[in-house]
């Protein structure tokens, strides 16, 4: 306990400084005031405070035995979801609980053991099809032996949890891209609304060919870009108050694309056209298996790195020769051209491409965003041209996803102003987006020049990117140890948002409104909602325990 306090002593001291200053500055005035007031007034004040406390605590204790996971008692004692806590208890109490849990931790080693899918429902008829031997994406792990020999209660509970998770089945797409090259691109603020057949023809083409995910979501997690990257590349949920990338720098990450492809003999490189130390990528990316090059550790010698933001197009030109002639390669790009601000003065890429958007019938902010996507489009076009020139295009898979929605389109991004946040996004959206869930409804590009289009209707999220890639490349992995699922398998869909809202194939549960909206006219009982709430809770919690305990090691 004291070790945790010492580890976080700086933020604790900083938090206490204002209180100490106020006490020092007002001590004399406070003493004079206390001397003047009568004992009766003091007793009345104390009594009122006690009554309010008793009522408040009673209202919390009443919910202790509620079957609802996110009841007041659990949020106050056992579960850390700041957004819910602030709505229930107020900002001050949430701040106090937050500080308390930073200092002393949140001791909760009991698991619900509701790790995921229930058995598929039978229609009551016997299956007359021939017996098919199903294969699963699992590794040979002796859970019984691990559980029997483990002394640490938390690790033992984790073993028991994973032993009960339903693994994903291999399917018709397993190994479809075996031994092909892979280019991963996390594109800053990339979004469906930026796809335009005239302005961004390459992005538009790729998004409407290959695997077409009709319901892909990029949840906006606390921590922005760093956690958006963390989720997609590790298939883990970030903590509510932490940067997942920074937290992972000294952890064993066997399923990270760089590590797992490197073991197969691939040349694994990562590039970023901004500062190499940002989000501690200089430590996290080598740990994920990449030779990492960015502005500050060598990329500035090949391209101009002094602009804001720097050019994605120029990054491709500066780096493609590093890997294009390799037998097998995995290349990971983290782009920056799409970053806010979306003004000519605040964004060099907006100024560069302004002539192509200036006459559009949109606000200047929206035109500015589209100008940044033109730079990204030029980069991807150049990449494809170079792959084709080297006769590598047909043997290369391109996967592109975003870190988060383009929140630079929100003029009120420093405060929650409801639908006003989405005015500019809706200017270029094909339909009206009216909440954070539709705000995060975006695009995943998964494309190879030789494949026929495949439409995927089920809900898919950033967590599912990694397991989907591993299955397509036929790489052995254990699907029970990742929080996402192969999007092309028959596993139940589950998209998890930062505030514990979720989407399944049956509908959407919004924790802000605490309401479930079914996709079709069907009756969904409370038990189903509570079941998914527990699954979401465990996946969020187990993600943190994996990092906290370096579990994969």
The domain locations on the chain are: 2-104, 181-488
Helix (H) or strand (E) segment spanning residue 269: strand 267-275
Q: In whole angstroms, how far apart are CA 545 and each of 177, 183, 251, 268?
A: 32, 30, 12, 28
* Backbone angles phi and psi of 68, in degrees to 5: -75, 120
Please compute Rg for the chain using Cα positions: 26
Confidence label for 87 from pLDDT (cuts 50, 70 and 90): confident
Strands (E), 392-444: 396-402, 441-442
Q: In whole angstroms, how far apart are CA 198 and each of 185, 193, 360, 366?
A: 22, 13, 12, 16
pLDDT of 119 > 60? The answer is no
> At a CB cut-off of 8 Å and minimum separation 6, what does 10 contact?
none
> At a CB cut-off of 8 Å and minimum separation 6, what does 380 contact?
185, 202, 203, 206, 398, 400
Closest CA to 438 of 405, 464, 403, 485: 405
> At a CB cut-off of 8 Å and minimum separation 6, what does 500 contact?
70, 81, 84, 511, 533, 536, 537, 540
Strands (E), 281-434: 291-295, 329-334, 396-402
To the nearest 10°, the Cα dihedral for 69, 71, 73, 79? 50
Look at the block and give the residue holding tokens 């209180």: 19
CA angle 434, 437, 439 (to 5 degrees): 60
**Tens-digit pLDDT profile for residues 135-194:** 999 999 999 999 999 999 999 999 999 999 999 999 999 999 999 999 999 999 999 999
Confidence label for 123 from pLDDT (cuts 50, 70 and 90): very low
Look at the block and give the residue holding tokens 């052995």: 476
Q: What is the DSSP letter of 520?
A: S
Confidence label for 132 from pLDDT (cuts 50, 70 and 90): low
For the record, the structure tokens of 524 come out as 């969904």
**What integer pLDDT is reported at residue 521 of this predicted model?**
82
Confidence label for 80 from pLDDT (cuts 50, 70 and 90): confident
Strand order of the β-sheet with 495-496 is 495-496, 502-503, 507-510, 515-518
Distance from C-alpha of 84 to C-alpha of 70, rounded to nearest angstrom = 8
Superfamily of domain 181-488: Alkaline Phosphatase, subunit A (3.40.720.10)
Q: How far is CA 150 from the centre of its chain?
A: 31
**Tens-digit pLDDT profile for residues 316-334:** 999 999 999 999 999 999 9
| Residue 185 CB neighbour total at 10 angstroms | 23
């Amino acid at each position: 306990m004291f070790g945790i306090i010492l580890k976080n002593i700086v933020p604790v001291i900083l938090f206490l400084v204002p209180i100490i200053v106020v006490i020092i500055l007002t001590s004399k005035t406070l003493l004079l005031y206390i001397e003047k007031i009568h004992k009766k007034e003091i007793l009345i004040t104390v009594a009122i405070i006690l009554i309010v406390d008793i009522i408040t605590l009673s209202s919390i204790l009443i919910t202790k035995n509620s079957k609802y996971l996110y009841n007041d008692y659990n949020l106050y004692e056992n579960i850390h979801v700041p957004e819910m806590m602030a709505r229930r208890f107020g900002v001050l109490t949430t701040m106090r609980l937050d500080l308390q849990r930073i200092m002393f931790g949140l001791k909760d080693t009991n698991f619900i053991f509701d790790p995921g899918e229930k058995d598929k429902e039978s229609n009551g008829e016997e299956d007359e099809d021939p017996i098919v031997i199903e294969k699963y994406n699992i590794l040979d792990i002796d859970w019984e032996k691990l559980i029997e020999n483990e002394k640490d209660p938390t690790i033992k509970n984790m073993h028991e949890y994973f032993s009960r998770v339903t693994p994903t089945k291999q399917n018709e797409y397993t190994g479809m891209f075996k031994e092909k090259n892979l280019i991963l691109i996390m594109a800053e603020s990339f979004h469906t609304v930026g796809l335009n057949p005239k302005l961004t023809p390459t992005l538009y083409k790729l998004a409407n060919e290959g695997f077409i995910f009709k319901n892909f979501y990029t949840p906006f997690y606390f921590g922005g870009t760093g956690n958006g990257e963390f989720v997609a590349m590790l298939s883990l949920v970030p903590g509510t108050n932490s940067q997942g990338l920074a937290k992972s720098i000294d952890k064993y990450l066997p399923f990270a694309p760089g590590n797992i492809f490197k073991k197969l003999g691939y040349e694994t490189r990562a590039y970023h056209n901004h500062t190499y130390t940002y989000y501690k990528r200089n430590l996290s990316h080598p740990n994920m298996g990449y030779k990492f090059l960015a502005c500050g550790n060598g990329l500035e010698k090949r391209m101009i790195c002094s602009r804001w933001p720097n050019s994605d197009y120029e990054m491709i030109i500066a780096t493609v020769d590093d890997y294009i002639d390799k037998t097998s390669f995995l290349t990971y790009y983290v782009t920056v051209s799409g970053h806010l601000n979306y003004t000519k003065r605040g964004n060099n890429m907006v100024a560069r491409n302004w002539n192509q958007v200036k006459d559009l019938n949109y606000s200047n902010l929206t035109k500015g965003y589209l100008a940044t996507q033109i730079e990204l489009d030029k980069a991807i076009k150049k990449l494809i041209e170079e792959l084709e020139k080297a006769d590598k295009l047909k043997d290369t898979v391109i996967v592109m996803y975003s870190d988060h929605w383009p929140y630079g389109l929100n003029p009120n991004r420093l405060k929650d102003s409801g639908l006003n946040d989405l005015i500019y996004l809706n200017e270029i959206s094909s339909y009206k987006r009216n909440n954070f869930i539709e705000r995060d409804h975006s695009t995943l590009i998964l494309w190879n020049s030789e494949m026929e289009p495949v439409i995927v209707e089920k809900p898919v999220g950033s967590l599912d990117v990694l397991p989907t890639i591993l299955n397509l490349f036929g790489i052995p992995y254990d699907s029970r140890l990742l929080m996402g699922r192969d999007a092309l398998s028959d596993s139940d869909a589950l998209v998890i948002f930062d505030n514990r809202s979720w989407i399944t194939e049956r509908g959407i549960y919004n924790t802000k409104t605490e309401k479930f909206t079914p996709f079709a006219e069907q009756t969904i009982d409370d038990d189903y909602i509570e079941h998914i709430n527990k699954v979401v809770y465990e996946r969020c919690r187990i993600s943190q325990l994996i990092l906290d305990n370096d579990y994969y090691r």
